[in-house]
């Protein structure tokens, strides 16, 4: 008898999972994106450095790569490595 109830419970759960719609995704707030992009390092490096969250979008912009190459070949890199920048 207990096995029958457990089986019935399992069937009901499976049917609910199969017929239910997925939960809605939470809306991304524009504030979080603005905070992530406004790190204040533009004047420090000459470009907005990417973060783990923004690297895909950052890498699609060729201007970012040009500014990155300019930074790597400039004396600012040595100052940054020494901690003076």
Q: Is residue 76 part of a domain?
A: yes
Q: What is the domain extent for residue 85?
A: 39-48+63-85
Q: Is residue 55 part of a domain?
A: no
pTM of the model: 0.45
HEC assignment per residue over 54-83: CHHHHHCCHHHHHHHHHHHCCCHHHHHHHC
Q: Is residue 27 part of a domain?
A: no
Q: Which of 40, 39, 46, 38 is nearest to 79 (CA)?
A: 46
Q: Is residue 70 part of a domain?
A: yes
Q: Provide the domain count of the chain.
A: 1
Give me the pLDDT at residue 23, please: 67
Q: Is residue 69 part of a domain?
A: yes
Q: Is residue 11 part of a domain?
A: no
Tell me the pLDDT of the chain (85 aa) as tens digits. 888 888 988 888 888 877 776 667 777 655 545 445 555 566 677 777 888 888 888 888 888 888 888 888 888 888 878 887 6
Q: Is residue 30 part of a domain?
A: no
Q: Is residue 85 part of a domain?
A: yes
Give me the pLDDT at residue 41, please: 62
Q: Which of 17, 79, 19 is nearest to 44 (CA)?
A: 79
Q: Which of 43, 40, 48 is nearest to 68 (CA)?
A: 48
């Amino acid at each position: 008898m207990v096995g029958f109830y457990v089986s019935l419970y399992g069937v009901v759960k499976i049917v609910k999972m199969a017929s239910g719609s997925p939960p809605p995704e939470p809306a991304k707030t524009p504030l979080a994106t603005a905070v992530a992009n406004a790190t204040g390092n533009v004047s420090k490096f000459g470009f907005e450095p990417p973060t783990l969250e923004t690297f895909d979008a950052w890498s699609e912009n060729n201007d970012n790569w040009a500014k990155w190459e300019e930074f790597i070949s400039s004396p600012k890199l040595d100052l940054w490595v020494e901690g003076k920048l």
